[in-house]
Structure 1
């Protein structure tokens, strides 16, 4: 009668029905034949009913407890969801979440707030691909046309495959939106949108401020030279001048303003007869209106008061031009006075000779003072120039618009020109004051020639020339730095003055020595000019890419310092050969192959812990940004104390130390490196300094520290950092393939 598989409620109902029937029959006495048996059955049924009733009560109690817990869980879930929604609304940033099937499940009111034309289209279950299409078609995004929008959408879907994505979206009215996409463990995706308009505009203002500071430094440099200078743009409008110009010509203040036409300045000078007599106006006007590739112009002028000036006009690559005036009155009068004294009585010859010797000594002291000033000025300019170069490199690595990329490239090219000029001036100042020191070592020519070919091939292609670098497996005895500078100047000079044909670099045996030769098919050098071209600031027949005439002067003085023979053979109209003769050496036993290109080994810097010790905040920010762009993990410190605190907080030592030499309170980078090595082991270290002197280089080499001078060569810095894992694996200075050279124990010969 009772099926145990029935639900408990139904079993109890049947038992109650049976019990009721039995009780009714017992009360009515309808079973007289078996009263005792019926009574026992009734008792048994009553016990079963009581047991079932008790079980039912317990089940009901458990059901009530379960229902109460379920209700509480539902209330907690609703509260948690409300809390999450409130938190997302309070973020101040746009947030959305897509599930593992790339369907939109959750978003806040800030999500796509900058894209009002697609906010109303957002809905639960929206596919990610449709969301990207809607964004690419939004009128709020600053994309030019359908093709660019389709390309942006394709790139966006391609980047969605990666686990972590960060990029910036340009909006109309110069607004910017940063999008960060993170893949979750569940397979879904969290998307965060941040308005970075203020940050982008602030960085733009800082960049403009940096350029203004560089312009002020250039103006200060112009004010320190002894020549009067006028700079005009491509439309022959005044763009710059210096203090010496006011001293010589005293022009009206209204004319010395940016944008003043060249003709107005010329008319004022001619009206006041400050350019002498003759057809000066016509000559200058014809030259200014001439072609972009017009040759330099030089004129000697005599003013009415007897002042003698030399006018020099030089065209710039952007069709602008520079006009400088040199006051030759004192020199010309001194020469005339010397001739006059030579014609006087013989009795005064000895006295005048003594005076001339004194004047010569004064001139030599003045020249030495000038060289020291150039070295000091170059040293002071290197610090901000280095920071600007790093900031520009970081800016170039960003996702810039094409117009911005072209502007960045032009600025970088301008800074490279300034860097080359400063380096040349610094080299000349070293030779003048006797501070240049040679470090003779075995130099393999193969890697050196390969580096020169890679460096100058773009310049040869740009000028339509053929550059041939002959392979060479020999080695020579020379200073690797000065030898590279010598060949750089010779190859650059050959490419600059050759209009068609080719330039060749090679080596040939010359007895027990080697002769390095640079051939060109340029215009050649007249015999009477072959000595003059080695003078400073001397240039013959310059082309559109002319320099300042310092390269051959540096070559001559470097060869004299190293004891290398320097020869010149030239035939006008056919070409020129420069040759440097130096002793041959056997190849070093530890010569290493050239390092791979940094673009092919970018992963070597991933997560590398670099400790940057730099007291100048601007330079420190620039270096940190550059290292982060390369994939490293830099930590910053302004002093040794801060560096020790940073290492203690991290709980591990850095992979490499990058320290500036001059720190605050008289501390030095070498002292900081020594202290950190004493506490944490022999960590590879680089010392960054604007001091190009040999004393610091020797001190750093004794400590096993690499010296890199400012402004930093970024590609070389990256190549050096890529060797750090190999150095640590090889335990510092004993790393396989490492060799002594360039003030360190851990640079390869190919670098």
Structure 2
């Protein structure tokens, strides 16, 4: 019971009585008013306050003790539950048929059942809680019950086991002594621990082995049956070169009795048999085969043919197997070889017949080419000869025109003049067609102003368009292109003339669209349009869009000239047309760049300064004496210092003698003794560095064009145009 002036167990009356006595005593002390009495009162008052604080602290302590007792009770209950759970877990893992072990996240054994490590009784008593995982692996690797793989030490086994421990989940089989097997499964827990399960799989492995042996026996029977059904003869040898399998067909093909084939027979025994009775076809020798079979040179499969004295031919194929053994197959290809010989004989006969037909065809083609060339020369000569009297006739007709004539004669003279003009146009067109067809048309590529060209055509054809009531519009382009000015003008003139001729009303529009590196010049009209089936036909000779047109409107040669000229210049030509709405012809021309704008045009070459090539040194390699002399004389008239040579060796000696590197090289493609000019240019460049050079040749084949283009060498065809040659020299030495 705590100390107190009033006993709480007393009755209220007793407590009140005590309080009155205390109060009376206190009042008496106060009335005495002495220092000693005051101090006593203060002491009493302090005692009362301390008593109240002690009482409060006592209550707090009592509540804390109650909470502690309650917590102890709960802890005791939790400990009982934990022990029960641990006991249940231990009982549970003990009932597991497999060996079970749990390692903590820090790789130490927490618990295991009695079956864990049961296959290794020599280490079983050392598998206790607290054992480190690395020590566990070391114990297993050193157990005498573990059957290590061949040539593997316990340390190597332990390192390989620890390496697999890094994986999150691992399952593998471990072989024990007395042909027993344990499957080990290792898995990670959520907190990073490790669970290991050990399962005895000896019975499963034995059943699997028995099944595998049964399957192997079945497979052996199946392989044997398969070998016997093959058309090829087959021999199988192990890595020691001993016979382990064969079929009857191999004996038939090699003419060896089946009784001579025995398990374990060496490869050399069989090889010596057919080496004496067969001959090797090709480069394969007996030594090559023996080296391959012995393993000295097995870089790949070996294939060769052998031929029997009876003309039987066998194809032999030797292939290495995964176990370093090898298999040999023999295939009878006698029928195939006989067929090949028959086909070869037939091919020879066919080749002779084809050669004869080819010669006949070449003769016919040469005759056709001669006839075509003769036709082209005739058309060119006839056109040129007819233009002179035609011009005279036009002058005579023009002299008859005047104001003094009556209306009817004046109309007749006008019609005659128009007829003569039509004849002149037709002859000019025939001459153009002849030049283009002959392949001798000269092309001089230079920078051409599209605006200047179109303005000239507008002035030329504008009156004709106005006479028909058409609105002819030529849009300004502001671009320059790379083309032959004469042919490009003729192309656009024909397209524009056709557009005006076949458009009855509306307008004709000419403009250009700038592309990435080209310009597409377009001619639009509002004419009747061209039906799609006829769009391919209109580019033929003497094909007109309007069949009812008179000869005065042309003979249908304009678009034929356009197509040939575009092909010659390599300018793509396109056509779009819609019946009843009009037609668009377009020609795509390369855009002139700043560098290409400096390329010499035909006029520049002809009218340029006479001293531009003065004292330029040019090496001329040409084996034809007359052509070499002519080219030398021509270039010397331009002020060029020419070094004439017949071949590469003479050119090298000449450069060494004068000790001067030329400014440019001109080499014929075909030199003496089959040597090529491109090789001479390359050889000189290898010695003296890059020198501007070009190739001259009468060969107009696409192969030569591609060769020179690939080497970056200009090509000038024979007969050589002086303008083209001078243009090259001006560019190369400028």
Tell me whether the two structures share a fold, i.e. TM-score over 0.5.
no
- Using the size of structure 2 for normalisation, the TM-score is 0.31
TM-score (norm 1): 0.31
Asked which structure has the greater CA Rg, the reply is 2
**Larger relative contact order (CA 8 Å, sep ≥ 6):** 1
